[in-house]
């Protein structure tokens, strides 16, 4: 489900508590992660924050997290987990729109953990985004948008507007996850952004740096849901919900 939270204060807390898992499940998670590495995916098993409690109030959003790791998250993504052992991974990202009204959707590169997957720029909470248990969601969003699109959200020459606007909380029949999104309006057209990204992609490849998106897809806003449906790639579960919510806010 998508919530519009533009006028709500987001409080995200990372408790120093680890999610407890049965030993047999731990072993299955390790084996699954090793198989992913053997496939050639460029992944590492860092910490992730799993939302143990969420509360969307009239004026505030409260997200309370416990610790786990990326292997746990990936097992739930690929294999599935019972509700009591699931990792509702907290992540954050940006729904980016060009000046001529195209949504930017990234296609994960072949070297990532899920080649071909469609998603918006975003990622997991980094430990450096946490101070005294308080998670700085905007720091995560800014870093991920810069790393994946080379867009500095504080650069007024490229960004007209950037504000936290949406919250996604997975339904019981969806892959568990909680994600906070900004809505970003660029001062760049589709053509300008495509050229800009192609140059950035070449730079990453030529310098042997990590590549997240191999391709960008541009969806015309008024027809975005149909254009997204026509793409045969796997898609993050939030993607259709997010685009629909933003289109309804036109």
Separation CA 120–CA 91 (nearest Å): 12
- CATH number, domain with residue 209: 3.90.79.10
User: Is this prediction's pTM over 0.85?
Assistant: yes
Sign of CA dihedral 148, 198, 214, 241: positive
Q: How many domains does the chain have?
A: 1
Above 90 in pLDDT, residue 112? no
Mean pLDDT is highest, among 45-54, 111-120, 225-234, for 225-234
Largest CA distance in the chain: 53
* pLDDT at residue number 171: 85
- Burial track 151-173 (b if 16+ CB lie within 10 A, e otherwise): bebeeeebbeebebbbbbbbeee
Within 8 A by CB and 6+ apart from 82, the residues are: none
Domain that holds residue 86: 2-248
As beta bridge partners, residue 179 has 91, 168
- pLDDT, tens only, 166-178: 999 998 777 788 9
pLDDT for res 78: 86
Q: Is the pLDDT of residue 97 over 70?
A: yes
């Amino acid at each position: 489900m998508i919530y519009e939270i533009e006028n709500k204060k987001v409080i995200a807390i990372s408790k120093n508590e680890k999610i407890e898992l049965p030993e047999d499940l731990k072993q299955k998670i390790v084996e699954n992660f090793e198989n992913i590495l053997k496939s050639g995916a460029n992944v590492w098993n860092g910490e992730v924050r799993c939302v143990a409690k969420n509360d969307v109030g009239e004026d505030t959003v409260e997200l309370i997290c416990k610790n786990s790791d990326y292997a746990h998250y990936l097992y739930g993504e690929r294999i599935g987990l019972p509700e009591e052992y699931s990792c509702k991974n907290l992540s954050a990202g940006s729904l980016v729109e060009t000046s001529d009204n195209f949504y930017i959707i990234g296609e994960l590169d072949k070297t990532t953990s899920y080649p071909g997957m469609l998603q918006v720029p975003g990622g997991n909470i980094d430990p450096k985004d946490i101070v005294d248990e308080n998670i700085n969601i905007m720091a995560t969003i800014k870093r991920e948008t810069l790393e994946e699109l080379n867009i500095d959200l504080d650069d007024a020459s490229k960004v007209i507007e950037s504000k936290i606007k949406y919250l996604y909380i997975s339904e019981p029949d969806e892959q568990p996850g909680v994600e906070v999104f900004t809505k970003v309006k660029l001062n760049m057209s589709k053509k300008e952004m495509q050229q800009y990204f192609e140059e950035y992609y070449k730079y990453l490849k030529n310098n042997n740096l990590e590549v997240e998106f191999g391709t960008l897809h541009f969806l015309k806003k008024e027809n975005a849901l149909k254009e997204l449906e026509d793409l045969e790639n796997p898609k993050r579960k939030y993607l259709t919900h997010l685009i629909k919510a933003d289109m309804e806010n036109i």
